[in-house]
Amino acid sequence: MTSLKQSSDAQAFQHLSLDHLPVEHLNPLLERQLVSGERSMLARIILRAGCIVPMHSHDNEQITYVLEGALKFHIQDREVVVRAGEVLVIPSQMPHSAEALEDTVDLDIFSPPRQDWLQGTDSYLRIGVFT
């Protein structure tokens, strides 16, 4: 993992490997890794089959790209299944929940960064097993 500065008056840039980022164990069915810049965040999310992310909303725009597996989202009174290779864009303040239909790995991009995730105040993800 390398973090370098371009110059004293420029923003710092980061060159990272997801393989070397710490894995945060949120509950027995959910893990994540985070990379954050000033105005956006990338999260690698690992959900085991049966994991439920409860209904929530946030100020951040979210783009979810499923790499492996499948997630069933409840959003705007609809169920939307997002499978490997598919993307879901969730606007700011839109309530949503998700269920891992099988073991799933996804990349979530947030703008701006999720401060609750950076500060560890995301208790809705840290309360036991969601089933």
Q: Is 1 inside a domain boundary?
A: no
| DSSP string covering 69-82 | SEEEEEETTEEEEE
Percent of the chain predicted with pLDDT > 90? 80
**For residue 9, pLDDT beyond 50:** no
- What type of residue is 51? C
Tell me how far apart the alpha carbons of residues 95 and 72 are, in angstroms, rounded to a whole number.
14
* DSSP strand pairing (96-100 vs 52-56): antiparallel
Domain tally, the chain? 1
Answer whether residue 25 is part of any domain: yes
pTM for the model = 0.86
- Asked if residue 13 belongs to a domain, the reply is no
Contact 40, 112 (CB under 8 A): yes
- CATH number of the CATH domain containing 95: 2.60.120.10
Task: Evaluate whether residue 64 is within a structural domain.
Answer: yes
Residues 78-93 pLDDT 10s: 999 999 999 999 999 9
- What is the distance between the alpha carbons of residues 112 and 60, in angstroms, rounded to a whole number? 6
The per-residue pLDDT of the chain, averaged, comes to 90
- Strands 52-56 and 70-75 come out as unpaired
Q: DSSP character for 22?
A: P
Assigned domain for 94 exists: yes
* Residues 105-109, mean pLDDT to the nearest whole number: 98
| Domain housing 96 | 21-125
Q: Is residue 15 part of a domain?
A: no
Give the pLDDT confidence of 22-79 residue by residue, as tens digits.
999 999 999 999 999 999 999 999 999 999 999 999 999 999 999 999 999 999 999 9
CA 94 from centroid of its chain's CA atoms: 15
